[in-house]
Amino acid sequence: MAETALNFDEIKTLISSMEHPSCSARDAFADMDQISRIKYWLNFAADRQIFEIKRPRLSLYAASHGIAKQDEAQQGYFKDMVSKLLAGDHAVNEVINLASADLRLYDLNMDEPTADLRSGDAMDDQALLNSLAYGLMTVEPENDLVSIAAIGAGSAEVGRAICHNFMPFIDSKLNIDIADVDLEGFFAMLKASSGYELNAIIGAILATRLAGVPVILEGYTAIAAALLLDKLNPDTHWHCAIAPSLDAQDADLRAYFKAKNWLVLDDPRPYGLKQASAINGGMQIAALRQMLILDNFYNPDKMAS
């Protein structure tokens, strides 16, 4: 990652200044069916009527953590995944092709993991700023839907540990304390305990918010990024929908976010099939495209209005 001229004060200003009159409209979700919720989310996130999804993208942010530096099996798994993704030979590539979407893999020094957060800060100030700035620059306004996920050794473990602060039912062997995080302490917490990919996703959430691009957040790391931003300013993430991690805690995650009026997308898996990280995002893109096609076919009068 190249060094950035961005500074912490600029990011603080960006986070604190985000405001939109429709943010409180999530309260209306309780009276809507799921299709109405999804269309409401797409339209308000983009600030226009969306009748079809033309340029969707699956964005994968790849990085490694010091806590998994000795985990050769995990490192090998994700290196193999990246190699197959780049060659077009992974199941994610197949799902993205079926969804007629674009796939972007952002490698944030995957071969150079963060420091082990259990024995000191995960990164220094410059690395933190570089990864935040990197995420801010990965968004293209012409995309009308982006699904975001993270991959890499230790990424899910750190994401789970952060989510555990909000949802104690999520088991985590790693302890990350964010009880006192506010706008002033936000960057100290990220410096101490985050990862390059998590920071980049925070930047991407902010950038898509500014660009009016609806976002699907898949997996613990992407969800953790939104939960941290929620502590600082809920208006930073109202354009995001949640695609919970596909494991035994899926039902609890859905219940938690629905109670908070966050949009939770339906499980897109056929026949209860389990799959690797990021495939869920591609399946969600395909499902949403099909939903809009069918909705417009059976309600053609809306297209003309």
Structural domain span for residue 92: 43-298
Mean pLDDT across 265-276? 68
Q: Label residue 270 by pLDDT band (50, 70, 90).
A: low
d(CA 102, CA 99): 9
- pLDDT category at 163 given cuts 50, 70, 90 is very high
Q: Is residue 155 part of a domain?
A: yes
Read off the tokens for 227: 């939960």
Specify the long-range contacts of residues 244-247, CB closer than 8 Å, at least 24 apart. Answer: 245/156, 245/218, 245/219, 245/220, 246/274, 246/275, 246/280
In a domain, 136, yes or no: yes
Quick check: is 14 in a domain? no
153: three-class secondary structure by DSSP: coil
pLDDT at 23 over 80: no
Residue 12 lies in a domain: no
User: Over 50: is that where the pLDDT of 59 sits?
Assistant: yes
Residue 84 belongs to a domain: yes
Residue 210, in any domain of the structure: yes
Q: What is the pLDDT of residues 89-120, one digit of tens each?
A: 999 999 999 899 999 999 998 999 999 999 99
Contacts of 118 (CB under 8 A, 6+ apart): 67, 174
Query: How many structural domains compose the chain?
Result: 1
- CA neighbor of 281 nearest in space, from 252, 249, 241: 241
**What mean pLDDT do residues 143-171 have?**
94
Residue 138 lies in a domain: yes
- Residue 264 forms beta bridges with which residues? 242
Q: Is residue 34 part of a domain?
A: no
In the structure, what pLDDT confidence band is assigned to residue 22 with cuts at 50, 70 and 90?
A: low
CATH number of the domain residue 197 falls in: 3.40.50.10210
The two tokens of residue 297 are 């076919």
Digit-coded pLDDT (tens) for 216-235: 999 999 999 999 999 999 88
